[in-house]
A and B are shown apart, each in its own frame.
Chain A
Protein backbone atom coordinates (compact mmCIF):
# COMPACT_ATOMS: atom_id res chain seq x y z
CA UNK A 1 0.00 0.00 0.00
CA UNK A 2 1.25 3.45 -0.89
CA UNK A 3 2.22 5.59 2.06
CA UNK A 4 0.29 8.39 0.38
CA UNK A 5 -3.04 6.67 0.92
CA UNK A 6 -5.40 8.76 3.04
CA UNK A 7 -7.53 6.82 5.51
CA UNK A 8 -10.91 7.86 6.84
CA UNK A 9 -10.38 10.08 9.91
CA UNK A 10 -11.61 9.23 13.38
CA UNK A 11 -14.51 11.35 14.63
CA UNK A 12 -13.57 14.69 16.21
CA UNK A 13 -12.72 13.88 19.83
CA UNK A 14 -11.82 10.27 18.99
CA UNK A 15 -15.23 8.63 19.21
CA UNK A 16 -18.72 9.31 17.95
CA UNK A 17 -21.20 10.68 20.44
CA UNK A 18 -24.43 8.71 20.27
CA UNK A 19 -27.02 9.57 22.84
CA UNK A 20 -30.20 7.93 21.56
CA UNK A 21 -32.23 5.45 23.61
CA UNK A 22 -34.15 3.16 21.26
CA UNK A 23 -35.78 0.90 23.86
CA UNK A 24 -39.17 2.48 24.63
CA UNK A 25 -39.65 0.63 27.90
CA UNK A 26 -36.26 1.74 29.18
CA UNK A 27 -37.04 5.29 28.04
CA UNK A 28 -40.34 5.31 29.93
CA UNK A 29 -38.53 4.27 33.10
CA UNK A 30 -35.92 6.98 32.58
CA UNK A 31 -38.45 9.79 32.54
CA UNK A 32 -40.82 8.53 35.21
CA UNK A 33 -41.73 11.29 37.65
CA UNK A 34 -39.48 13.92 35.99
CA UNK A 35 -40.63 17.49 35.30
CA UNK A 36 -41.31 18.33 31.66
CA UNK A 37 -40.73 21.35 29.51
CA UNK A 38 -42.12 22.09 26.02
CA UNK A 39 -39.33 23.15 23.66
CA UNK A 40 -40.00 26.63 22.31
CA UNK A 41 -38.40 28.36 19.35
CA UNK A 42 -35.97 31.19 20.06
CA UNK A 43 -37.76 34.39 19.05
CA UNK A 44 -36.08 37.44 17.53
CA UNK A 45 -35.42 39.88 20.42
CA UNK A 46 -37.17 42.68 18.54
CA UNK A 47 -39.59 41.23 16.00
CA UNK A 48 -40.63 38.02 17.75
CA UNK A 49 -40.07 35.94 14.60
CA UNK A 50 -38.61 32.43 15.24
CA UNK A 51 -34.86 32.48 14.58
CA UNK A 52 -33.75 29.14 16.01
CA UNK A 53 -35.11 25.92 17.46
CA UNK A 54 -32.87 24.16 19.99
CA UNK A 55 -34.37 20.82 18.94
CA UNK A 56 -32.07 20.93 15.89
CA UNK A 57 -29.03 21.25 18.18
CA UNK A 58 -30.26 18.38 20.36
CA UNK A 59 -30.61 16.19 17.25
CA UNK A 60 -27.18 17.10 15.89
CA UNK A 61 -25.54 16.56 19.28
CA UNK A 62 -27.24 13.26 20.14
CA UNK A 63 -26.65 11.72 16.71
CA UNK A 64 -23.00 12.73 16.81
CA UNK A 65 -22.79 15.39 14.10
CA UNK A 66 -21.22 17.72 16.70
CA UNK A 67 -19.03 15.09 18.46
CA UNK A 68 -17.52 15.41 21.01
CA UNK A 69 -20.17 17.86 22.29
CA UNK A 70 -22.70 16.02 24.46
CA UNK A 71 -25.08 18.66 25.66
CA UNK A 72 -25.84 22.21 26.71
CA UNK A 73 -22.62 23.91 27.77
CA UNK A 74 -21.56 25.04 31.24
CA UNK A 75 -20.53 28.63 31.80
CA UNK A 76 -16.80 27.81 31.97
CA UNK A 77 -17.07 25.95 28.66
CA UNK A 78 -18.83 28.84 26.92
CA UNK A 79 -16.20 31.23 28.27
CA UNK A 80 -13.41 29.02 27.00
CA UNK A 81 -15.00 28.80 23.56
CA UNK A 82 -15.31 32.56 23.36
CA UNK A 83 -11.67 32.92 24.36
CA UNK A 84 -9.95 30.15 22.41
CA UNK A 85 -12.63 28.09 20.63
CA UNK A 86 -11.99 24.99 22.73
CA UNK A 87 -14.20 22.73 24.80
CA UNK A 88 -13.25 21.93 28.39
CA UNK A 89 -11.95 18.57 27.11
CA UNK A 90 -9.49 20.49 24.87
CA UNK A 91 -11.05 19.66 21.50
CA UNK A 92 -11.63 22.68 19.24
CA UNK A 93 -15.19 23.91 18.70
CA UNK A 94 -16.46 27.23 17.28
CA UNK A 95 -19.75 28.11 18.95
CA UNK A 96 -21.45 28.18 22.35
CA UNK A 97 -24.44 25.77 22.37
CA UNK A 98 -26.87 26.18 25.24
CA UNK A 99 -30.34 25.22 26.42
CA UNK A 100 -31.80 28.58 27.42
CA UNK A 101 -35.12 29.34 29.13
CA UNK A 102 -36.83 32.45 30.49
CA UNK A 103 -36.68 33.40 34.17
CA UNK A 104 -40.45 32.80 34.45
CA UNK A 105 -40.13 29.28 33.05
CA UNK A 106 -37.18 28.63 35.35
CA UNK A 107 -39.19 29.67 38.39
CA UNK A 108 -42.15 27.60 37.28
CA UNK A 109 -40.02 24.50 36.68
CA UNK A 110 -38.18 24.76 39.98
CA UNK A 111 -35.36 22.53 38.71
CA UNK A 112 -31.68 22.62 39.57
CA UNK A 113 -28.40 20.82 39.30
CA UNK A 114 -28.90 17.04 39.58
CA UNK A 115 -32.43 17.12 38.17
CA UNK A 116 -33.56 15.40 34.99
CA UNK A 117 -35.80 17.48 32.73
CA UNK A 118 -37.96 15.87 30.05
CA UNK A 119 -38.06 17.94 26.87
CA UNK A 120 -41.24 17.69 24.85
CA UNK A 121 -41.37 18.44 21.15
CA UNK A 122 -44.65 18.91 19.29
CA UNK A 123 -46.44 17.71 22.43
CA UNK A 124 -44.53 14.41 22.71
CA UNK A 125 -41.60 13.40 24.93
CA UNK A 126 -38.46 13.82 22.84
CA UNK A 127 -35.30 14.06 24.95
CA UNK A 128 -33.97 14.47 28.46
CA UNK A 129 -31.57 17.03 29.84
CA UNK A 130 -29.62 15.92 32.92
CA UNK A 131 -28.92 19.25 34.56
CA UNK A 132 -25.39 19.67 35.90
CA UNK A 133 -25.31 23.45 36.26
CA UNK A 134 -27.67 26.41 36.00
CA UNK A 135 -26.11 29.72 34.96
CA UNK A 136 -27.21 33.07 33.71
CA UNK A 137 -26.37 35.04 30.57
CA UNK A 138 -25.88 38.58 31.94
CA UNK A 139 -25.47 40.33 28.65
CA UNK A 140 -26.70 38.57 25.50
CA UNK A 141 -25.44 41.39 23.28
CA UNK A 142 -21.92 40.95 24.58
CA UNK A 143 -22.24 37.18 24.13
CA UNK A 144 -23.32 37.75 20.52
CA UNK A 145 -20.34 40.02 19.81
CA UNK A 146 -17.87 37.66 21.46
CA UNK A 147 -19.29 34.71 19.55
CA UNK A 148 -18.59 36.23 16.13
CA UNK A 149 -15.69 38.56 16.94
CA UNK A 150 -15.17 42.28 16.58
CA UNK A 151 -12.90 44.40 14.34
CA UNK A 152 -10.87 45.38 17.44
CA UNK A 153 -10.41 41.90 18.89
CA UNK A 154 -10.19 39.96 15.61
CA UNK A 155 -8.58 42.35 13.13
CA UNK A 156 -7.30 39.49 10.93
CA UNK A 157 -10.78 38.74 9.57
CA UNK A 158 -13.58 40.83 11.10
CA UNK A 159 -14.21 43.91 8.97
CA UNK A 160 -17.43 45.32 10.41
CA UNK A 161 -19.05 45.32 13.81
CA UNK A 162 -21.90 42.79 13.90
CA UNK A 163 -25.45 44.05 14.25
CA UNK A 164 -29.07 42.96 13.97
CA UNK A 165 -28.81 42.56 10.19
CA UNK A 166 -26.71 39.44 10.83
CA UNK A 167 -28.97 36.41 11.45
CA UNK A 168 -26.40 34.53 13.54
CA UNK A 169 -25.73 37.50 15.79
CA UNK A 170 -29.51 37.83 16.26
CA UNK A 171 -29.71 34.21 17.45
CA UNK A 172 -27.23 34.83 20.29
CA UNK A 173 -28.68 38.26 21.06
CA UNK A 174 -32.13 36.64 21.39
CA UNK A 175 -31.20 33.88 23.87
CA UNK A 176 -33.14 33.58 27.11
CA UNK A 177 -31.17 34.44 30.26
CA UNK A 178 -31.19 31.11 32.13
CA UNK A 179 -29.02 28.28 30.83
CA UNK A 180 -29.62 24.71 31.94
CA UNK A 181 -26.32 22.97 31.25
CA UNK A 182 -25.92 19.21 31.00
CA UNK A 183 -26.05 16.23 28.68
CA UNK A 184 -28.93 15.59 26.30
CA UNK A 185 -30.28 12.13 25.51
CA UNK A 186 -32.97 11.47 22.91
CA UNK A 187 -35.48 9.06 24.42
CA UNK A 188 -38.06 9.05 21.63
CA UNK A 189 -36.49 8.96 18.19
CA UNK A 190 -38.25 11.38 15.85
CA UNK A 191 -39.20 10.30 12.32
CA UNK A 192 -37.85 12.52 9.59
CA UNK A 193 -40.64 13.70 7.35
CA UNK A 194 -40.42 13.15 3.62
CA UNK A 195 -38.49 14.15 1.63
CA UNK A 196 -35.91 14.61 4.41
CA UNK A 197 -36.04 10.95 5.50
CA UNK A 198 -34.18 9.82 2.36
CA UNK A 199 -31.33 12.19 3.16
CA UNK A 200 -30.93 11.42 6.87
CA UNK A 201 -27.48 9.89 7.33
CA UNK A 202 -26.29 10.54 10.89
CA UNK A 203 -22.53 9.99 11.28
CA UNK A 204 -22.61 6.28 12.15
CA UNK A 205 -25.02 5.42 9.36
CA UNK A 206 -23.07 7.67 6.99
CA UNK A 207 -19.78 5.89 7.77
CA UNK A 208 -21.52 2.55 7.25
CA UNK A 209 -22.83 3.79 3.90
CA UNK A 210 -19.29 4.78 2.88
CA UNK A 211 -18.15 1.24 3.79
CA UNK A 212 -20.94 -0.28 1.70
CA UNK A 213 -19.99 1.86 -1.25
CA UNK A 214 -16.27 1.24 -0.82
CA UNK A 215 -15.57 4.94 -0.36
CA UNK A 216 -12.26 5.53 1.44
CA UNK A 217 -11.78 9.15 0.34
CA UNK A 218 -14.82 11.43 0.33
CA UNK A 219 -15.01 15.16 -0.31
CA UNK A 220 -17.81 17.20 1.19
CA UNK A 221 -19.79 19.92 -0.52
CA UNK A 222 -21.56 22.30 1.85
CA UNK A 223 -24.87 23.61 0.54
CA UNK A 224 -27.88 25.71 1.37
CA UNK A 225 -28.78 26.18 -2.27
CA UNK A 226 -30.33 24.41 -5.23
CA UNK A 227 -27.33 23.42 -7.37
CA UNK A 228 -26.62 25.14 -10.65
CA UNK A 229 -24.11 23.82 -13.15
CA UNK A 230 -21.33 25.92 -11.58
CA UNK A 231 -21.83 23.98 -8.32
CA UNK A 232 -21.89 20.70 -10.22
CA UNK A 233 -18.54 21.46 -11.85
CA UNK A 234 -17.10 22.57 -8.53
CA UNK A 235 -18.08 19.23 -6.99
CA UNK A 236 -16.85 17.10 -9.88
CA UNK A 237 -13.54 18.89 -10.16
CA UNK A 238 -12.83 19.27 -6.47
CA UNK A 239 -13.27 15.52 -6.26
CA UNK A 240 -10.11 15.08 -8.37
CA UNK A 241 -8.22 15.88 -5.20
CA UNK A 242 -7.86 12.67 -3.26
CA UNK A 243 -4.68 10.75 -2.62
CA UNK A 244 -3.30 8.48 -5.34
CA UNK A 245 -6.63 8.66 -7.15
CA UNK A 246 -9.57 11.08 -7.12
CA UNK A 247 -11.95 11.01 -4.17
CA UNK A 248 -14.22 7.97 -4.26
CA UNK A 249 -17.26 9.89 -3.20
CA UNK A 250 -18.85 13.32 -3.11
CA UNK A 251 -20.91 13.92 0.00
CA UNK A 252 -23.38 16.78 -0.32
CA UNK A 253 -24.46 17.91 3.12
CA UNK A 254 -27.29 20.43 3.21
CA UNK A 255 -27.76 22.48 6.35
CA UNK A 256 -31.46 22.33 7.15
CA UNK A 257 -32.89 24.84 9.57
CA UNK A 258 -34.55 28.18 10.02
CA UNK A 259 -34.91 29.88 6.64
CA UNK A 260 -34.56 33.42 5.40
CA UNK A 261 -37.03 34.89 2.96
CA UNK A 262 -35.82 34.45 -0.60
CA UNK A 263 -33.91 31.20 0.08
CA UNK A 264 -34.99 28.13 -1.84
CA UNK A 265 -37.17 25.77 0.24
CA UNK A 266 -35.19 22.99 1.92
CA UNK A 267 -37.30 20.40 0.08
CA UNK A 268 -36.21 21.80 -3.30
CA UNK A 269 -32.58 22.00 -2.15
CA UNK A 270 -32.29 18.32 -1.21
CA UNK A 271 -34.26 17.05 -4.22
CA UNK A 272 -32.35 19.44 -6.49
CA UNK A 273 -29.07 17.86 -5.39
CA UNK A 274 -30.52 14.40 -5.77
CA UNK A 275 -31.60 15.33 -9.32
CA UNK A 276 -27.94 15.90 -10.22
CA UNK A 277 -27.25 12.20 -9.69
CA UNK A 278 -30.61 10.90 -10.94
CA UNK A 279 -29.89 12.79 -14.17
CA UNK A 280 -26.46 11.13 -14.33
CA UNK A 281 -24.48 14.39 -14.24
CA UNK A 282 -22.63 12.84 -11.33
CA UNK A 283 -23.10 9.08 -11.06
CA UNK A 284 -25.27 8.08 -8.08
CA UNK A 285 -22.51 5.59 -7.15
CA UNK A 286 -20.20 8.56 -6.51
CA UNK A 287 -22.61 11.08 -5.03
CA UNK A 288 -24.65 11.16 -1.83
CA UNK A 289 -26.87 14.08 -0.81
CA UNK A 290 -27.51 14.26 2.95
CA UNK A 291 -28.71 16.71 5.59
CA UNK A 292 -27.72 18.07 8.98
CA UNK A 293 -30.10 20.01 11.22
CA UNK A 294 -28.71 23.38 12.28
CA UNK A 295 -29.86 26.96 12.29
CA UNK A 296 -27.04 28.58 10.35
CA UNK A 297 -25.03 31.16 12.30
CA UNK A 298 -23.37 32.50 9.11
CA UNK A 299 -20.06 32.83 10.92
CA UNK A 300 -17.89 32.38 7.80
CA UNK A 301 -14.54 31.05 9.26
CA UNK A 302 -16.24 29.83 12.44
CA UNK A 303 -19.02 28.20 10.44
CA UNK A 304 -16.38 26.54 8.24
CA UNK A 305 -14.85 25.07 11.39
CA UNK A 306 -18.21 23.63 12.41
CA UNK A 307 -18.64 22.29 8.87
CA UNK A 308 -15.26 20.61 9.10
CA UNK A 309 -16.26 18.99 12.41
CA UNK A 310 -19.64 17.78 11.10
CA UNK A 311 -18.18 16.28 7.93
CA UNK A 312 -15.19 14.68 9.66
CA UNK A 313 -17.70 13.07 12.00
CA UNK A 314 -19.63 11.85 8.96
CA UNK A 315 -16.41 10.25 7.70
CA UNK A 316 -15.17 12.66 5.03
CA UNK A 317 -11.47 13.01 4.23
CA UNK A 318 -11.78 16.34 2.38
CA UNK A 319 -13.94 19.46 2.52
CA UNK A 320 -14.37 22.11 -0.16
CA UNK A 321 -14.52 25.72 0.88
CA UNK A 322 -15.31 28.66 -1.37
CA UNK A 323 -15.18 32.41 -1.18
CA UNK A 324 -17.58 33.96 1.35
CA UNK A 325 -18.14 30.52 2.83
CA UNK A 326 -21.41 30.51 4.84
CA UNK A 327 -21.35 34.30 4.99
CA UNK A 328 -23.92 37.06 4.85
CA UNK A 329 -23.02 40.70 4.37
CA UNK A 330 -19.47 41.96 4.62
CA UNK A 331 -18.76 41.42 8.31
CA UNK A 332 -15.86 39.10 7.58
CA UNK A 333 -13.11 39.31 5.00
CA UNK A 334 -14.39 37.29 2.05
CA UNK A 335 -11.38 34.96 2.28
CA UNK A 336 -11.63 34.44 6.07
CA UNK A 337 -12.31 30.74 5.72
CA UNK A 338 -9.24 30.31 3.51
CA UNK A 339 -7.17 32.33 6.00
CA UNK A 340 -8.30 30.03 8.81
CA UNK A 341 -7.49 26.79 6.98
CA UNK A 342 -4.20 27.90 5.41
CA UNK A 343 -2.64 30.18 8.06
CA UNK A 344 -4.87 30.15 11.13
CA UNK A 345 -6.49 33.09 12.95
CA UNK A 346 -4.54 33.69 16.21
CA UNK A 347 -7.16 35.95 17.78
CA UNK A 348 -9.70 33.12 17.51
CA UNK A 349 -7.26 30.73 19.22
CA UNK A 350 -5.69 29.36 16.04
CA UNK A 351 -2.03 30.35 15.70
CA UNK A 352 -1.99 27.61 13.04
CA UNK A 353 -4.74 26.07 10.89
CA UNK A 354 -7.29 23.89 12.74
CA UNK A 355 -5.63 20.81 11.22
CA UNK A 356 -2.27 21.76 12.74
CA UNK A 357 -3.15 22.57 16.35
CA UNK A 358 -3.40 20.02 19.21
CA UNK A 359 -6.90 18.48 19.51
CA UNK A 360 -7.67 19.81 16.06
CA UNK A 361 -9.23 18.34 12.93
CA UNK A 362 -7.98 15.76 10.44
CA UNK A 363 -10.25 16.62 7.51
CA UNK A 364 -8.37 18.30 4.63
CA UNK A 365 -9.56 21.62 3.29
CA UNK A 366 -9.82 22.09 -0.45
CA UNK A 367 -10.12 25.80 -1.14
CA UNK A 368 -11.84 26.28 -4.47
CA UNK A 369 -12.64 29.37 -6.55
CA UNK A 370 -15.45 29.18 -9.06
CA UNK A 371 -16.61 27.72 -12.34
CA UNK A 372 -18.50 29.70 -14.92
CA UNK A 373 -19.28 29.44 -18.62
CA UNK A 374 -16.56 30.50 -21.06
CA UNK A 375 -17.91 31.29 -24.52
CA UNK A 376 -14.39 30.94 -25.99
CA UNK A 377 -13.53 27.57 -24.42
CA UNK A 378 -17.20 26.69 -24.97
CA UNK A 379 -17.32 24.96 -21.61
CA UNK A 380 -17.65 25.53 -17.90
CA UNK A 381 -14.21 26.85 -17.01
CA UNK A 382 -12.33 27.38 -13.77
CA UNK A 383 -11.70 30.99 -12.82
CA UNK A 384 -8.00 30.35 -12.10
CA UNK A 385 -7.14 28.47 -15.31
CA UNK A 386 -9.31 29.90 -18.09
CA UNK A 387 -7.78 33.11 -19.47
CA UNK A 388 -10.92 34.42 -21.17
CA UNK A 389 -13.80 36.61 -20.21
CA UNK A 390 -16.37 34.31 -18.72
CA UNK A 391 -20.10 34.70 -18.17
CA UNK A 392 -20.41 34.82 -14.42
CA UNK A 393 -23.51 33.38 -12.95
CA UNK A 394 -24.81 34.97 -9.80
CA UNK A 395 -27.33 33.20 -7.62
CA UNK A 396 -29.56 36.26 -7.58
CA UNK A 397 -29.57 36.48 -11.38
CA UNK A 398 -30.69 32.86 -11.49
CA UNK A 399 -33.38 33.45 -8.86
CA UNK A 400 -34.72 36.30 -10.99
CA UNK A 401 -34.91 34.01 -13.99
CA UNK A 402 -36.75 31.36 -12.03
CA UNK A 403 -39.17 33.89 -10.54
CA UNK A 404 -40.02 35.18 -13.99
CA UNK A 405 -40.94 31.66 -15.02
CA UNK A 406 -38.12 31.39 -17.56
CA UNK A 407 -36.54 27.94 -17.59
CA UNK A 408 -32.77 28.37 -17.29
CA UNK A 409 -30.78 26.84 -20.17
CA UNK A 410 -29.27 23.44 -19.38
CA UNK A 411 -25.78 24.93 -19.31
CA UNK A 412 -26.87 26.99 -16.29
CA UNK A 413 -29.22 24.61 -14.53
CA UNK A 414 -29.96 21.00 -15.40
CA UNK A 415 -33.60 20.47 -16.43
CA UNK A 416 -33.96 17.76 -13.77
CA UNK A 417 -32.90 20.24 -11.08
CA UNK A 418 -35.29 22.87 -12.41
CA UNK A 419 -38.05 20.26 -12.28
CA UNK A 420 -37.37 19.76 -8.57
CA UNK A 421 -37.76 23.51 -8.03
CA UNK A 422 -41.05 23.56 -9.94
CA UNK A 423 -42.35 20.50 -8.07
CA UNK A 424 -42.02 22.31 -4.73
CA UNK A 425 -43.08 25.62 -6.27
CA UNK A 426 -46.41 23.95 -7.09
CA UNK A 427 -46.57 22.51 -3.59
CA UNK A 428 -45.95 25.81 -1.79
CA UNK A 429 -47.39 28.06 -4.54
CA UNK A 430 -44.09 29.86 -4.44
CA UNK A 431 -40.57 29.09 -5.72
CA UNK A 432 -38.73 30.54 -2.70
CA UNK A 433 -39.26 30.79 1.03
CA UNK A 434 -41.86 33.45 1.70
CA UNK A 435 -43.19 34.49 5.08
CA UNK A 436 -45.80 31.74 5.06
CA UNK A 437 -43.17 29.07 4.40
CA UNK A 438 -40.85 30.40 7.09
CA UNK A 439 -43.58 30.50 9.74
CA UNK A 440 -45.04 27.15 8.79
CA UNK A 441 -41.65 25.46 8.75
CA UNK A 442 -40.93 26.51 12.32
CA UNK A 443 -44.32 25.14 13.35
CA UNK A 444 -44.07 21.81 11.53
CA UNK A 445 -40.28 21.31 11.84
CA UNK A 446 -38.59 18.47 9.93
CA UNK A 447 -39.77 15.64 12.18
CA UNK A 448 -42.82 13.92 13.62
CA UNK A 449 -42.93 12.10 16.93
CA UNK A 450 -44.98 9.13 18.06
CA UNK A 451 -46.27 8.55 21.56
CA UNK A 452 -43.70 7.08 23.85
Chain B
Protein backbone atom coordinates (compact mmCIF):
# COMPACT_ATOMS: atom_id res chain seq x y z
CA UNK B 1 0.00 0.00 0.00
CA UNK B 2 1.22 3.51 -0.79
CA UNK B 3 1.07 5.81 2.21
CA UNK B 4 0.47 9.54 2.21
CA UNK B 5 -0.48 12.46 4.39
CA UNK B 6 -2.99 15.09 3.45
CA UNK B 7 -2.14 18.77 3.78
CA UNK B 8 -5.33 20.80 3.82
CA UNK B 9 -5.18 24.19 2.18
CA UNK B 10 -7.41 26.90 3.53
CA UNK B 11 -7.27 30.32 1.83
CA UNK B 12 -4.38 31.42 3.97
CA UNK B 13 -2.21 28.42 3.17
CA UNK B 14 -3.22 28.40 -0.47
CA UNK B 15 -1.97 31.98 -0.82
CA UNK B 16 1.46 30.83 0.36
CA UNK B 17 1.93 28.25 -2.36
CA UNK B 18 0.14 30.14 -5.16
CA UNK B 19 2.36 30.71 -8.18
CA UNK B 20 4.83 27.96 -7.21
CA UNK B 21 5.06 24.60 -8.95
CA UNK B 22 3.02 23.13 -6.09
CA UNK B 23 -0.07 24.92 -7.33
CA UNK B 24 -0.39 22.42 -10.19
CA UNK B 25 -0.37 19.55 -7.72
CA UNK B 26 -3.27 20.86 -5.69
CA UNK B 27 -6.09 18.34 -5.60
CA UNK B 28 -9.70 19.36 -5.43
CA UNK B 29 -11.91 17.11 -3.41
CA UNK B 30 -15.63 17.08 -2.71
CA UNK B 31 -16.70 18.84 -5.86
CA UNK B 32 -13.89 21.39 -5.67
CA UNK B 33 -14.82 22.48 -2.17
CA UNK B 34 -11.68 21.23 -0.51
CA UNK B 35 -8.12 21.93 -1.65
CA UNK B 36 -5.30 19.73 -0.52
CA UNK B 37 -1.86 18.35 -1.29
CA UNK B 38 -0.87 14.73 -0.77
CA UNK B 39 2.58 14.19 0.65
CA UNK B 40 4.24 10.89 -0.10
CA UNK B 41 5.25 8.73 2.89
CA UNK B 42 7.71 5.86 2.50
CA UNK B 43 7.27 2.56 4.30
CA UNK B 44 10.16 3.46 6.59
CA UNK B 45 8.79 6.92 7.40
CA UNK B 46 5.34 5.44 8.04
CA UNK B 47 6.81 3.10 10.64
CA UNK B 48 8.69 5.96 12.20
CA UNK B 49 5.58 8.14 12.46
CA UNK B 50 3.60 5.33 14.10
CA UNK B 51 6.46 4.71 16.49
CA UNK B 52 6.98 8.36 17.46
CA UNK B 53 3.32 9.38 17.70
CA UNK B 54 1.12 6.83 19.41
CA UNK B 55 -2.18 8.42 18.35
CA UNK B 56 -1.32 8.07 14.65
CA UNK B 57 -3.48 5.75 12.58
CA UNK B 58 -3.69 4.65 8.96
CA UNK B 59 -7.11 4.91 7.38
CA UNK B 60 -8.54 2.62 4.70
CA UNK B 61 -7.10 4.80 1.91
CA UNK B 62 -3.56 4.59 3.26
CA UNK B 63 -3.66 8.11 4.66
CA UNK B 64 -1.86 8.61 7.95
CA UNK B 65 -4.13 10.52 10.31
CA UNK B 66 -4.54 11.44 13.99
CA UNK B 67 -1.08 12.96 14.40
CA UNK B 68 -0.79 16.08 16.59
CA UNK B 69 -1.87 19.38 15.10
CA UNK B 70 1.70 20.64 15.60
CA UNK B 71 2.83 17.85 13.27
CA UNK B 72 0.37 18.94 10.59
CA UNK B 73 1.41 22.58 10.95
CA UNK B 74 5.07 21.66 10.54
CA UNK B 75 4.16 19.45 7.60
CA UNK B 76 2.70 22.42 5.78
CA UNK B 77 5.71 24.58 6.67
CA UNK B 78 8.08 22.01 5.21
CA UNK B 79 5.98 21.58 2.07
CA UNK B 80 5.95 25.34 1.54
CA UNK B 81 9.66 25.65 2.25
CA UNK B 82 10.86 22.70 0.17
CA UNK B 83 8.24 23.20 -2.56
CA UNK B 84 8.01 19.45 -2.66
CA UNK B 85 5.67 16.58 -1.85
CA UNK B 86 8.39 13.95 -1.74
CA UNK B 87 9.52 11.78 1.14
CA UNK B 88 12.17 14.34 2.24
CA UNK B 89 9.33 16.51 3.55
CA UNK B 90 8.33 13.89 6.12
CA UNK B 91 12.00 13.35 6.98
CA UNK B 92 12.36 17.04 7.75
CA UNK B 93 9.23 17.01 9.90
CA UNK B 94 10.39 13.95 11.83
CA UNK B 95 13.72 15.65 12.47
CA UNK B 96 11.70 18.03 14.64
CA UNK B 97 9.87 15.25 16.52
CA UNK B 98 10.87 16.31 20.01
CA UNK B 99 9.82 19.91 19.37
CA UNK B 100 6.49 18.70 17.96
CA UNK B 101 5.94 16.43 20.95
CA UNK B 102 6.46 19.31 23.34
CA UNK B 103 3.88 21.38 21.49
CA UNK B 104 1.56 18.38 21.31
CA UNK B 105 1.65 17.94 25.09
CA UNK B 106 0.30 21.48 25.49
CA UNK B 107 -2.13 20.86 22.66
CA UNK B 108 -3.87 18.12 24.58
CA UNK B 109 -4.82 20.75 27.18
CA UNK B 110 -5.76 23.60 24.91
CA UNK B 111 -6.46 24.25 21.26
CA UNK B 112 -7.64 27.69 20.22
CA UNK B 113 -11.17 27.59 18.81
CA UNK B 114 -11.77 29.25 15.44
CA UNK B 115 -13.76 32.48 15.47
CA UNK B 116 -16.97 31.75 13.66
Task: Give A residues with C-beta under 8 Å from B.
Answer: 262, 373, 375, 378, 391-392, 394, 396-397, 399-401, 403-412, 418-419, 422, 425-426, 429-431, 434-436
Contacts and interface: CB of A to CB of B under 8 A. Distances in A.
Contact of B65 (A373, A394, A405, A412): A394
A391 B29 contact: yes
Interface stretch (B15-23, B42-50, B94-102, B106-114): B106-114
Main secondary structure of the interface of A (DSSP, over half): loop
B60 A431 contact: no
Shortest 3 CB-CB distances between A and B: which pairs? A409-B33, A396-B65, A394-B59
17 contacts: A373-B30, A375-B31, A394-B60, A394-B65, A397-B63, A401-B8, A403-B69, A403-B72, A403-B111, A406-B10, A418-B116, A422-B113, A422-B116, A425-B111, A429-B110, A429-B111, A436-B109
Contacts of B57: 396
B66 A410 contact: no
A396 B10 contact: no
Q: Is the interface of B mostly helix, strand, loop or mixed?
A: loop
Contact of B113 (A401, A431, A435): A431
A373 B59 contact: no
A408 B114 CA distance: 12
B1 to A, nearest CB: 14
Nearest to B29: A391
Q: Which of B8, B109, B113 has the most CB of A within 10 A?
A: B113
A373 B63 CA distance: 17
Interface string B38-82: 000000000000000001010111010111010011000000000
A405 B30 contact: no
Interface of B: 6, 8, 10, 29-31, 33-34, 55, 57, 59-61, 63, 65-67, 69, 72-73, 108-114, 116
Contacts of A378: 31
A434 B104 CA distance: 12
B30 A434 contact: no
A400 B34 contact: no
Contact of A392 (B60, B73, B114): B60
Nearest to A432: B111
A397 to B, nearest CB: 6
Given A397-B6, A436-B109, A405 B114 contact: yes
Nearest to A429: B110
A411 B33 contact: yes
A434 B63 contact: no
A430 to B, nearest CB: 6
B29 A426 contact: no
A406 B116 CA distance: 11
Most buried by B among A397, A408, A419, A436: A397
Contacts of B111: 403, 405, 425, 429-431
